[in-house]
Structure 1
Amino acid sequence: MATNVSNFSDLIQRVAASCLLHPLAAGGHESGDVDAVAHTVIEEYNNSSEDEEKENGVKDVEKSRRIRRVWNNGEKEMVTLIEEVFEAVAEMKKAYVRLQEAHCPWDPERMRGADMAVVGELRRLGVLRERFKRGRRGGCGGGVVAMLRVVVAPYEAAVEELKRELKVKEVEIENLKEKLNTVTCLSNGGKKRGLSKWKVGCSQVLAVAPDPELFEATMSQMKEASKSFTSLLLSLMREARWDVAAAVRSIEAATATPDTATQTTTITPSVAANHHAKYALESYVTRKFFQGFDHETFYMDGSLSSLLNPDQYRRECFTQYRDMKAMEPVELLGILPTCHFGKFCFKKYLAIVHPKMEESLFGDLEQRSQVMAGNHPRSQFYREFLRLAKAIWLLHLLAFSLDPSPSQFEASRGAEFHPHYMESVVKFSGGLVPAGQIVGFPVSPGFNLGNGSVVKARVYLAART
């Protein structure tokens, strides 16, 4: 460059000297001479510059050209990358909108497809991020890097959130596997302590075959669950300011048969309402639950497996009993909401809890709406209901596991008290039932077992009038 500057200065000096020696005149030939000199000098300068560039600047020129080519290629690649990022973002938004639309109305298939589309776009953004990182290491422009960071950051956060949710699901899966192992251990006769709060011995937990003693122990569990649910229902009725005495009279009338409806034996409403209304309410609940107990599916369908293949059906029932015994009903229905037990719960809830009753107790029909939609509410009331439903379902499975099956009986209203087949829900002083007591209304049924033993029917007694 210094040589070029020097040549250029020399050129100026030569042109100036030519002008001094040949002053401008009117004739064109003199001007032409000056032009010829200048032309000659400039041509020499250009030639010398080209020679200089060839000798000293070839390497720099080639380097500059290579840099320009690399930069152009990198710029094109970055522009393409940005376009792909924006395209992925647009598709991500569309997929997320479809995912939201699939929630209302509820459409599992559309939700699954939209969810896969969202995950696919997230993965696509992950690939673009890796390309961006490689380009960054190759020397991308700082402004482009900053812009891409802003665009990609929200989706990186979404990916991290999905990873955390995945870890939570993995923990849930491990818990379910542990519970499954527990059930398998129990079904194979493994030892497990502290699983029952009721008076059930280790023989029930480790039972390998159905027997009458196991049926009696399961019946005791059912009684405890029935008392617990009835107490909760009665407390809700009192909080809602129900006329409990009127409810008792209605239940008493419902238990009357055509033969006993004209009898003069009645229960004093004030006494029943004030002291023993819970027994009348328990009578109502158990009567609804035990309707259809003699059929293998509570008449939910027309199955006749117990008649066509009795031995196989008994084995299947006892297997179901052992598998279900250690599981919480909420967990079971969370996995299989529409299994036979789930359908049993739907049917019995709608039969026991009348719409007016639910609206009076809870102020709305939300739980009923969930049940009718095939779901299971998470309320305390429904949990207690499921506990009783499970106890009766287990009793039913065990009844169809025994050979011969237990025969069910119920004390009728107005019948004479028989201590061999009945037990009073009200305890009398001295433990003996006074003479002249008759059945006011039945509370829960009894069973005759194959070994000759009897599970007594529970009754509410009243004095003969």
Structure 2
Amino acid sequence: MPRPQRPSFRSNAKISSRYFMESVKPSAVTLRKSKLSRTLTKVLRAKSTSGIAQVEGLQNVKVDEGNMTHSEEDEELKKKLAVEALVSRVFASISTIKASYAQVQYAQSPYDPDGIQDADKVLVSELKTLSELKQCWFKKQFHFDPSPEGAIVAAESKELKSVIKTYRIMGKKFEWQTRLKDSEILFLKEKLEEANKQNKSIEKRLNQSGSLSSLDNLHISGLSPSHFISVFRHTVKLIRSFVKLLVNEMRSAGWDIDASVNTIIGGDVVYLKEDHKCFAIESFVCREMFDSFNFPNFNLRPTDFLPDRNKTQFFFLNFNELKSSKAKEYLGSKPKSAFAKFCRTKYLRLVHPQMEASFFGDTKLRINMVNGGEFPDDNDLFTSFAEMAKRVWLLHCLAFSFEAEAEIFQVGKGCRFSDVYMESVVNVNVNDDEVAIAVESEPQVGFTVVPGFKIGKTVLQCQVYLSQLLQQR
């Protein structure tokens, strides 16, 4: 089998290389390159030349426009400064007018004719200035000497001076009004002090008179529980009058009312209102004043002779003797009487030495009572106490004037309320808008304020404070 012949590539390669060499001759390439370079050079030169001319022309135009804008801005700035100067002068004139008007008002009271004339001249002058400025605005005549800037500074300075002048005038006016108010306050204080003196005088007369005129012609045979009830009610009024004065003295002297109340009653009582704490102090006063009430002469002078027979007549005579007398006059005329000893003992128990020192600056009152048996003449607190003590003593004498002696009673804390033997010292309004309240089914007694009495079958209810009568919702 004959061997296959290899294909020959030499002849073809020669042909291809020859064709390639002929297609890229050096002369043709050089010619084309030179033509292309010349063409590009012309184009670039033409574009660069035209571009430079356009840029230079544009720059020239911009420079001209800049020069024109700068000059216009100068004119606009001058115009703005002129308008600002005009407005500044307007505000300066207005401030001056306000200051002049304030001066006119101040010169009215107290009347000052010279001050009014000076202010009037300034007002007329500034109104003319405003009229001239108005004409300048409408005519566009903005001419200022020496310059708008100087006019602005001058106007601002004028405005500040006018404002300062206004404040000074108002300050003088307020000072005058303050002096006037001070004089009014002083006058009202004098009137208040005078009214307080009159009130105290009226209160003293009411307390001393006591409205016991219905008992003037009373005979022991006509004595009834209604007379005892009448004296009892007057006694309670004077007790509360004394308690009110005592609480005011305590507050003026800086005493802690809450601490005092907690010491008397304890801290477990809930008060509906803050003012109700005064009932605790009233309870303390009643407890001390009515202590030993069921003993003759409060058991203060056991050695005194008390007749076995006609004992009721003896106390009824004492009742009539003191009833028509003033307490301080009786104490002054009979400083060693049973009533005088009663007043001395009860006062020393009610008013603590520290309390008396804080009220009056010293304890001379109690020292004079203990050592010399003297009673003060010009002490409001003791005067109120003496009238209260007189009513308690009269009630005591009247209680022992009955054949069936009056019995005193009170109820303890936590007892269930009974409307037969008790009445609430607080009048409760269940429709009160300030505090929503609900009445408990079984209210309990917080403490007894005023004791009760029983004469035969007649019962005078004791007055109690119900600590759990009300609950806040």
Q: Is the 8 A contact 2:208 2:326 kept in 1?
A: no
Deviation string 1:254-281 (CA, Å, 9 cap, x unpaired) is xxxxxxxxxxx92136x56x22121111
Q: Is the 8 A contact 1:199 1:217 kept in 2?
A: no
Partner Cα distance (2:283, 2:402) in 1: 26
* Aligned partner (choices 444, 449, 473) of residue 443 of structure 1: 449
Query: If the length of structure 2 is used for normalisation, what is the TM-score?
Result: 0.51
Equivalent position SS for 1:301: coil
Output the amino acid matched with 1:376.
F
1:249 pairs with 2:249: no
Report what 1:460 is aligned to: 465
Deviation string 1:137-159 (CA, Å, 9 cap, x unpaired) is xxxxxxxxxxxxxxxxxxxxxxx
1:397 pairs with 2:402: no
Equivalent position SS for 1:463: coil
Report what 1:377 is aligned to: 376
Shift of 1:401: 0.6
Which blocks of at least 5 consecutive residues in structure 1 are unaligned? 1-193, 254-264
Partner Cα distance (1:324, 1:200) in 2: 12
Partner Cα distance (2:235, 2:279) in 1: 15
* Aligned partner (choices 209, 215, 219) of residue 208 of structure 1: 219
Query: If the length of structure 1 is used for normalisation, what is the TM-score?
Result: 0.51
Equivalent position SS for 2:465: strand
Report what 2:313 is aligned to: 315
Equivalent position SS for 2:297: coil
Identify if the C-alpha distance between structure 1 residues 197 and 430 changes in structure 2 by more than 3 Å, giving closer, same or farther: farther
Deviation string 1:237-257 (CA, Å, 9 cap, x unpaired) is 11111111111111113xxxx
1:362 pairs with 2:360: yes
Equivalent position SS for 1:437: coil
Output the amino acid matched with 1:385.
F
Identify if the C-alpha distance between structure 1 residues 425 and 403 changes in structure 2 by more than 3 Å, giving closer, same or farther: same
Report what 1:345 is aligned to: 343
Partner Cα distance (2:227, 2:468) in 1: 35
Identify if the C-alpha distance between structure 1 residues 353 and 435 changes in structure 2 by more than 3 Å, giving closer, same or farther: same
Shift of 1:211: 2.0
Report what 1:302 is aligned to: 302
Output the amino acid matched with 2:386.
L
Report what 1:162 is aligned to: none
Partner Cα distance (1:437, 1:304) in 2: 45
The within-5 A match list for 1:20-39 is none
The within-5 A match list for 1:92-111 is none
Shift of 1:437: 2.0
Q: Is the 8 A contact 2:319 2:398 kept in 1?
A: yes
Deviation string 1:361-394 (CA, Å, 9 cap, x unpaired) is 2221121112112111121110000011000000
Deviation string 1:306-352 (CA, Å, 9 cap, x unpaired) is 6x61x412101101111211110111111111111001111101111
Q: Is the 8 A contact 2:408 2:451 kept in 1?
A: yes
Deviation string 1:134-187 (CA, Å, 9 cap, x unpaired) is xxxxxxxxxxxxxxxxxxxxxxxxxxxxxxxxxxxxxxxxxxxxxxxxxxxxxx
Report what 1:266 is aligned to: 268
Report what 2:252 is aligned to: 239
Output the amino acid matched with 2:465.
Y
Which blocks of at least 5 consecutive residues in structure 2 are unaligned? 1-205, 432-437
Larger radius of gyration: 2
The within-5 A match list for 1:148-297 is 202=214, 204-209=215-220, 210-253=223-266, 266-268=268-270, 274-297=274-297
Deviation string 1:84-123 (CA, Å, 9 cap, x unpaired) is xxxxxxxxxxxxxxxxxxxxxxxxxxxxxxxxxxxxxxxx
Identify if the C-alpha distance between structure 1 residues 449 and 380 changes in structure 2 by more than 3 Å, giving closer, same or farther: same
Counting matched residue pairs gives 255
